[in-house]
Structure 1
Amino acid sequence: MFALFLTPPYLPFAIAFVVMIGIGLIEAVGLGLGHLDLDLDADGGHHVAGGLLDWLGLGGELPILVWLTSLLACFTLTGTAIQQIATAAAGGPLPWGVAAGGALIAGALLNTLAANGLARIMPGYESSAISTDDLLRYRGTILEGTARRGAPARAKVVDQYGQAHFIMVEPHDDADQIQSGETALLVRRDGSLFFALPDADTHFRPI
């Protein structure tokens, strides 16, 4: 059976199998790629995409690499099955492009069931990805330099999951300055730039 994977008709499925094993090894050595922070700020398209993601099995709380591994496994299994059936029925496997196309459709359908099933048996998973806007009302610490209007400084913000985010900060008020090592409350955002009220000069002090 292994020798079949080295022949051209089975090549797409051999590649998918190798990629699937590679993802498993990456997760096993703890590189943390399964915790990618995917920030989607386009709220207008969220509801449109939501139905498609739910259909694909991505609408629940399933880690993206678990879903991808499941998809690759389903693609490999359905592709191998298609070639085995074709060999038994017609005496030889289908061209790899035809088999891969059929396996992609059948594998995606099968993966919908598999992903939804995996999501139900993984109740402990909780995503730590947050939107950029969720950093508002957190306090950041200026790491270097002095933040002035028109001259932002780099700051560190720790979210509710304990993850550190590094952002550029300017004072909200023209007259304020935030020195290195000082903390400030993030009150608004303009693109990737945050504006903050320094704790030293505002009533919004930590309790």
Structure 2
Amino acid sequence: MTLFSEYNSPYLFAISFVLLIGVLEFIALIFGHLISSALDAHLQHFDALTSGNIGQVMHYMNIGRIPALVILCLLAGYFGLFGILIQHGSMTLWHTPISNLLLAPVSLMMSVFAVHYSGKAIAPWLPRDETTAIAEDEYIGRMAIMTGHVASTGNPGEGKFTDKFGQTHYLLLEPEEGKEFRRGDKVLIIGRLSSTRYLAEINPWPEHL
């Protein structure tokens, strides 16, 4: 079997995706961000993802126990690994590849089971930023740092703060009318505008904080 044969393309793409995410996470870390933390922070605002059948699937996949980005990488990695190994077995035994129309769904299903069990095994050992350590209403009164683009009224930007447990929270912040925030500004969260947006003002005590 040739690893880079056309019938291995879906599985090589999946493994390449995992490598790409690793590179992007490393680059983001250099600039003071974590893609996985930001993704988890945004996912928690979608109630449809935590209820019903979708919620059960996410629970089975260990989303909530470990970062969603880790789950995605595990799923893609297992999919690629299982696909390549099964194609290798097919070429060894029958000298012909299995149709990916049949193999891809099988590999995906096997990957889901693998993610479930391996996720449960690594969850206790995997460090992560918890975004639910404090209630969202407790964000009010916290000092945050703007990490995203220029923010103005109706056009929020990303900010982050670290709570008393040392855990990082990412949220969308916007200023009062007629004002704007820029990357690096230290702001005080003063109110909640919606389930995902908060009102803030420039640090009123720059000489102390």
The TM tier, using the shorter chain, reads 0.5 to 0.7
TM-score normalised by the chain length of structure 2: 0.63
1:99 matched to 2:103? The reply is: yes
User: What CA distance in whole angstroms lies between the structure 2 residues aligned with 1:128 and 1:103?
Assistant: 32
Query: Which amino acid counterpart does residue 127 of structure 1 have in structure 2?
Result: E
Query: Which stretch shifts more, 156-165 or 90-99?
Result: 156-165
User: What CA distance in whole angstroms lies between the structure 1 residues aligned with 2:22 and 2:137?
Assistant: 31
- What SS does the aligned partner of 2:42 have? coil
**What are the residue-to-residue correspondences of 1:1-207 with 2, within 5 Å?**
4-29=2-27, 30=29, 32-36=34-38, 37-43=41-47, 46-48=50-52, 49-60=54-65, 62-122=66-126, 124-128=127-131, 133-134=136-137, 137-138=140-141, 158=161, 160=163, 161=167, 165=171, 167-170=173-176, 186-190=190-194
Seen in structure 2, the aligned counterparts of structure 1 residues 76 and 53 have a Cα distance that, compared at 3 Å, is: same
User: What CA distance in whole angstroms lies between the structure 1 residues aligned with 2:4 and 2:20?
Assistant: 18
Partner residue of 2:150? none
Seen in structure 2, the aligned counterparts of structure 1 residues 101 and 131 have a Cα distance that, compared at 3 Å, is: farther
* TM-fit CA distance, 1:89: 3.6
TM-score normalised by the chain length of structure 1: 0.64
* TM-fit CA distance, 1:5: 2.5
- What SS does the aligned partner of 1:5 have? coil
Deviation per residue, 1:25-81 (Å, 9 max, x gap) = 223342532221315335466332432212112131x12222222112211121122
Structure with the greater alpha carbon radius of gyration = 1
Seen in structure 2, the aligned counterparts of structure 1 residues 154 and 71 have a Cα distance that, compared at 3 Å, is: closer
RMSD: 4.4
Query: Which stretch shifts more, 73-82 or 129-138?
Result: 129-138
User: What CA distance in whole angstroms lies between the structure 2 residues aligned with 1:157 and 1:77?
Assistant: 36
Contact kept, 8 Å, 1:17 with 1:73, in 2: the verdict is yes
Seen in structure 2, the aligned counterparts of structure 1 residues 167 and 128 have a Cα distance that, compared at 3 Å, is: same
Where structure 1 has 5 or more consecutive residues not aligned to the other structure, the ranges are 144-150, 172-177, 201-207
Where structure 2 has 5 or more consecutive residues not aligned to the other structure, the ranges are 147-152, 205-209
Seen in structure 2, the aligned counterparts of structure 1 residues 83 and 9 have a Cα distance that, compared at 3 Å, is: same
User: What CA distance in whole angstroms lies between the structure 2 residues aligned with 1:6 and 1:153?
Assistant: 46
Query: Which amino acid counterpart does residue 24 of structure 2 have in structure 1?
Result: I
- What SS does the aligned partner of 1:186 have? strand
Contact kept, 8 Å, 1:35 with 1:129, in 2: the verdict is no
Contact kept, 8 Å, 2:175 with 2:199, in 1: the verdict is yes
Identity of aligned residues (%): 16
Seen in structure 2, the aligned counterparts of structure 1 residues 162 and 111 have a Cα distance that, compared at 3 Å, is: closer
Seen in structure 2, the aligned counterparts of structure 1 residues 23 and 193 have a Cα distance that, compared at 3 Å, is: closer
